[in-house]
Structure formats: C-alpha cells, structure tokens
Amino acid sequence: MKKYFFFRIIRSIVSIFLVTTLTYALIYSLVPRRAIFQNDSNVSKLKGDPDKLEDYKNTAYGRMDYIDYYGSKQLVEKVQEDYPEVTTEDTAENRELYQQWADNNSGWEIKQFEISKGFYAVKELSLVTRVSRFYSDLIKIDHPWKINDPDNPDLKRSIKIENDDSVGWSLVGSGTQHKYLIYFNSQFPYIHQNIVTFNFGTSYPTFAGLPVLDVISDGQGKNKTEQIMIDGKEFRSNADIASREYTMTSQISSSAKKQYDDNYTTTESLHEDPSMVGTSMRMGIVGVIIAYLVAIPMSILMARFKGKLVDKVGIAIVTVLISVPSLAFIYFFRFIGNSAFNLPLMFPTLGAQDLKSWIMPTVILGLLSVPGLVIWVRRYMIDQQSADYVKFAKAKGLSAGEISRRHIFKNAIIPIANGIPGSIIGAIGGATITETIFAAPGMGKMLPDAIKSHNNPIVIGLVLIFTTISVLSVFLGDITMTIVDPRIKLNTSKGDE
C-alpha cells in the first residue's frame, strides 16, 4: 500500500505539472498579449493620455509576467543605487546614465514616455522564466518570522492554540502574515488553514487587482454587516475577522487603531452569497446525490426484469435522454420548471438567498448524469447474473429479489463506489453548461468567462485546480474500493507480476 501511495502521488504531481505547464505555454505563446485589453474599458478612457496608457499597459504586462517593468519613480530609485547623481529630467547626462545602468543589467531596455519624456524600463521575459516564476511563487508558507516590520521591533513571534473571542478555538500566530492559521466556521470547506496558501497570480482584466484564489474562494454579492467581536470589543462591521492579516505599522489607519489591539488589521469583507467554489459545491454535491438516488434503483429494477416491460420502458427513456443534446435537455426541463412550478429561469432573479434559485440547476445537473449511470450499472448487474455465485444462490433456492439485492448489487457496489469520489469532487469544479445557462456564479461558468475576457491568470489557475481535482478523484476512487471490499489490493506482490 505504501508503495502504491508513493508512486501514485509522484505520478499525480507529474501529471498536474505537465498539464498546467502545457496550458501555460500555449496561452502565453500563441495568444497575442494585446488581446488582454480587448474588454478593458480603462484602455479607451486613457487613450487621450498616451503616457498613462503606456504605464497602464506595462503595469498589466508586468503583473502577468510578460515583462519586468519599472515606471519613472521606480526606475530612478533603482538607478540611483549605482548612480546617485541621476534625476528624472530629460537630459543627455541622464540618458547616458540610464543606458549605462541598462547595459550593466542585461535584458533591460530604457524608453521614454511620449509626452512627459520621463524614463521607464522594460525587460522581456522568456517563456521559461515566466513558467519558473509561476511555480516558484505558487506555494506560500506562513511562519512566525514572516513579518519584518522595522517600526515594530518588539513584535512577538509565536504560534499557539487559543479560544479566541472572535473565531473560537483556533491556531493563532504572531509574527505571521495571517493571525488565524487554522480555524473553523460554517463556510465551505468548514476547516480553514492559512499555513500553506497558494498564489495563482493576479486577476486581469476582470476582477482586476485581486488574487486569483480570492476571486474563486471569496464570497459574492452584497456586503453583509453583522455583530462581531474584535479583541474583546463588539462592533457592527462587514469585516471577515477570520481573514485578519498583518499591516505594517506605518500603514495602519487611525480607525483601525481604534478597533484592533495589534497590527492584524487587514481583512476581507463578508458577503451575503457563497463563493464561486461554494456555489458549485452546493449544486454539484446535491446533483450527485439526486443522480445516484434515481439511477441505482432504476438500474436494479431494469436488470432484474431484463427484457420485460419495465426494462424496455427504462431503455426507451434512457435512449431518449442520451440522444437529446445536453443543451436541449437543460432548456426543456428549464421550461417545465418555470411554467409548471414557477421556478426562476435565471439564478440571479431571486439570488442565492432564495431556495428556488437552486432547485432547477441542481436537479437538472443530477438528471444529466442519470442516463450514463443507468446504462453502466444495469450492464454490470446483467453481466453478473451469469456468474457462478448467482447460479449457486439459485440452486440454494434464493428468490430473484434476494439474489439481486444481497449478491449482485453487493458486487456492483465496488465499481459504483469507485466513481462516487470522482463525481463529488468533480461537482465542486462546477458544471459549465448548466451554470452558464442559469447564470449561476460558480466555477464552471468562470472558465469560459475567463477565456472570453483573456483573463490568462484565472485560466491557468482553474486549469491547475481542475487537473488536481481530476487526479485526486481517481486516487480517492481507488481508496474507496479498498474500503468497500478489503480483498482488493492496490499494489501487486512479486508473485502477481
């Protein structure tokens, strides 16, 4: 078993790396970089100011690791480290000093803005450099020596378990980037940790300036205000206290000083609606439950009465459902739900706070999986009907119902169990067509939206997440089989090879 785990983990990491790297290379080498500005309204607003437009574009390219970029202020500070006499003025002496600095630092090119003639520098990055930066910045580990604040030399550095008055029992850090390293609440995934976090880059042009992971995992909709406890004092606020991060002493506002007793004053906002991953998770998991609750009894019944009326009707229904394109299937049941039960056609009509918004996309998501499950489980159970153990059970005088329930289905559970983790984990990734048609703000809808808006960082982040989910589902499926049937061994002995 240990050998299996080791090689499975190695293969999984390699698979995730290859898929993500290939996607990164295709997007950043084949898609023209200028395409990221196609849907950016700020570009049209800045056309009257060429200098600001050039700075804006270079800043965006820099955030997405197309280039390294120093604006006028950053560049003069950098060059003054080698040439203290340099200034921002457009003189022959300054041009020479800037060029000398560029010559001494390979790859940099000195340019000037069109109107102000201010100097700036750009450095084109190779694809290998971009990929290596992505992976080097991917994993962030928080620890008590993470913060170096010259204005707070007496900062305590520790990690301890506390029953905090704001979030309850939690692992609390000091000197760490995050105050609460491990905590619990009612939001998915319920157990939260900030010790190891992931950096998928900065979103652009949609959700501009936000970390990709925050776009996926933060709440949505209107801000929610509630009574909260901060360092022993009660306030009404929309701050998510569990997200507190360290703020440098020189940057703490006067209002924050009144609320907080320490430097952990940076927080995210509470929102009324769940996050994108939370939305997909709620719909997906309930959809999986619906699919299995409908498909398994139907499959057992059809297999038991193979060739009879029940089986023929079931096959006819399944054939029709499989023949109909998913898009037509969704629109048909969407029409039925709206006309017969007055359910909203679009998720945002009533919003995430109304149960009616969830019913149609969730039920349809479950029903879409039913035909495939029915065919697979029915076929497996029919194949098992000719097995020796079934003939032996018949010879013992067991009824067809007992054989079906106690023997055939017991063996059918093994492959069914193998697919359940994949279905559940895959559900968290969202359903692209369903979420798009119902305008549900989940992860499935997010990928095509990111592709259309040329939001490369979100595309890469989602590909990495979806690949990890796929690999993890296969791994957990194998583990589930061994739990259901301990006779199954995931690794082979030398004699079996």
The pLDDT tens digits for 177-202 are 999 999 988 776 788 899 999 998 88
Strand partners, 384: none
Is residue 279 within 8 A of residue 217, CB to CB? The reply is: no
Q: Are residues 319 and 352 in the same domain?
A: yes
Q: What is the pTM of this model?
A: 0.80
Final residue in a domain of this structure, among 269, 302, 331: 269
Residue 259 sits in the same domain as residue 193: yes
pLDDT of 410 over the 80 cut: no
Strand 191-193, strand 196-198: pairing:
unpaired
Is pLDDT at 424 greater than 80 in this prediction? no
Q: Does residue 92 sit within a domain?
A: yes
- Of 269, 297, 327, the one marking the end of a domain is 269
Task: Give 247's pLDDT tier (boundaries 50, 70, 90).
Answer: very high
* Helices 356-384 and 326-341: angle between axes, nearest 10 degrees: 130
**Residue 16 in domain:** no
Give domain status of residue 212, yes or no. Answer: no
Asked whether residue 235 falls in the same domain as residue 337, the answer is: no
Residue 344: per-residue pLDDT: 93
- Could you tell me the pLDDT band of residue 430, with boundaries at 50, 70 and 90? low
Residue 214 lies in a domain: no
What pLDDT score was predicted for residue 263?
92
Cβ 197 vs Cβ 183: under 8 Å: no
Residues 254, 288 within the same domain: no
Q: Give the count of domains, the chain.
A: 3
Residues 123 and 146 in one domain: no
Q: Which long-range contacts (CB under 8 A, 24 or more apart) does 176-179 make?
A: 176/142, 176/143, 176/144, 176/146, 176/147, 176/246, 177/142, 177/146, 177/147, 177/245, 177/246, 178/142, 178/243, 178/244, 178/245, 178/246, 179/244, 179/245, 179/246, 179/262, 179/264
> Is 110 inside any structural domain?
yes
Residue ending a domain, choose from 134, 157, 185 = 134
Q: What is the mean pLDDT of the chain?
A: 85
**Per-residue confidence at 497, pLDDT binned at 50, 70, 90?**
very low
Domain, as residue range, for 80:
37-134
The DSSP bridge partners found for residue 140 are: 197
In this predicted structure, what is the pLDDT of residue 496? 44
Cβ neighbors of 437 (< 8 A, separation 6 or more) are: 327, 330, 331, 334
> Are residues 82 and 170 part of one domain?
no
Q: Are residues 71 and 98 in the same domain?
A: yes
| Beta bridge partner(s), residue 202 | 211
Q: Tell me if 291 is assigned to some domain.
A: yes
Q: Are residues 344 and 264 in the same domain?
A: no
pLDDT at res. 495: 45
> Would you say residue 334 has pLDDT above 70?
yes
Instruction: Indicate if 121 and 240 belong to the same structural domain.
Output: no
Q: Could you tell me the CATH number of the domain that includes residue 435?
A: 1.10.3720.10
**392 pLDDT tier (thresholds 50, 70, 90):** confident
Domain assignment present for residue 469? The answer is yes
pLDDT at 276: 86
More confident site: 386 or 312 = 312
In a shared domain, residues 298 and 250: no
For 100-109, what is the mean pLDDT?
92
**3-state class of 243 per DSSP?**
strand
Q: Is the pLDDT of residue 494 over 60?
A: no
Whether residues 66 and 149 share a domain: the answer is no
| 463 shares its domain with 423 | yes
Residue 391 lies in a domain: yes
Give the number of C-alpha atoms closer than 13 A to the C-alpha of residue 181, restricted to the C-beta side.
20
Stretch 350-361: mean pLDDT, rounded?
91
What average pLDDT does range 67-71 have in this prediction? 94
Q: How far apart are the C-alpha atoms of 278 and 275, rounded to whole Å?
A: 5
pLDDT at 281 over 70: yes
Q: Which residues pair with 159 in a beta bridge?
A: 173
| Position 97 confidence tier, pLDDT thresholds 50, 70, 90 | very high
Q: Would you say residue 148 has pLDDT above 90?
A: yes
